[in-house]
Amino acid sequence: MPTPEQLQEAARNARDRGALWRFERDGRHGYLYGTIHIANLDWAMPGPTVGRALREAETVAIEADPGDPATGAGIAAPQKPHEAPSLPAALLDRLHGQAARACEPWDTLESMPPLMIVTRLTLLDARWDGLHTNYSIEAVLAAFARTTSKNLALLETPSRRASTSSTAAASASSRRPGSFTWWATARCRSSWPSAASRSSACRSAGARSLAQGTTAPSCPSDQVR
């Protein structure tokens, strides 16, 4: 974790990163800010334009609050037997291999829903690129809302996310044999490398925008591009 001095320096040097849209209707306006679940210290600090938008806001709405213990507990909660798709041995072996590569004990993962295992390992793999869940943009926004006494609205609950994931996985599995295997593999392919080459997590559009310090744009009223 960063020291107080490192936090202060990062705050002083913060610049606008990512995409920020402004919308307006009926005399009221708001902002839509593109966030990712992993980042680094420099990315996590809001720049001048983003900071001004946060200060103007009455309510900060985020997908889920990473700082709430209930969030992690709900997402990682074991699925009911009839909700969990059966994993082929080859995919299970690959998951074991990725867990070992990430230095993540398998016993911390095996009770989780399969898609949550994939998601967890994908996020852990991004550490090779200096990206960590500790610097989640959503966590920074939630902390800002709390310290400034703004309303904090959550768009999703852990139980709803888990239910959606299990329903989607079951649907994919029932459509054709091996479809869940393909889906789970596709979700993590960019982060799980072959021996020949490793795709950087920074190649995603969102991460590139944050890394380049793209100036936050504005959209005309009632438009989101």
Tell me whether residue 200 is in a domain. yes
Neighbours of 115 (CB within 10 A): 24
45 within some domain: yes
Q: Average pLDDT, stretch 110-129?
A: 88
- Evaluate if residue 21 carries a pLDDT over 90: yes
What is the domain range of residue 188? 4-212
> Has residue 168 been placed in a domain?
yes
pLDDT value for 98: 93
Q: In terms of pLDDT, which residue wins out, 81 or 21?
A: 21
DSSP state of 27: T
20 phi and psi angles, rounded to 5 deg: -125, 125
Residues 209/18, Cβ–Cβ less than 8 Å: yes
Judge whether 67 lies within some domain.
Answer: yes
For residue 68, being part of any structural domain is answered with: yes
Q: How many domains, in total, are found in the chain?
A: 1
pLDDT at position 69: 79
Question: Which residue matches tokens 């596709």?
Answer: 186
User: What are the b/e assignments for 72-108, b being 16+ CB within 10 Å?
Assistant: eebbbeebeeeebbebeeebeebbeebbeebeeeeee
> pLDDT (tens digit, 9 = 90+) per residue, 144-183?
999 999 999 998 876 666 555 555 555 544 444 343 333 3
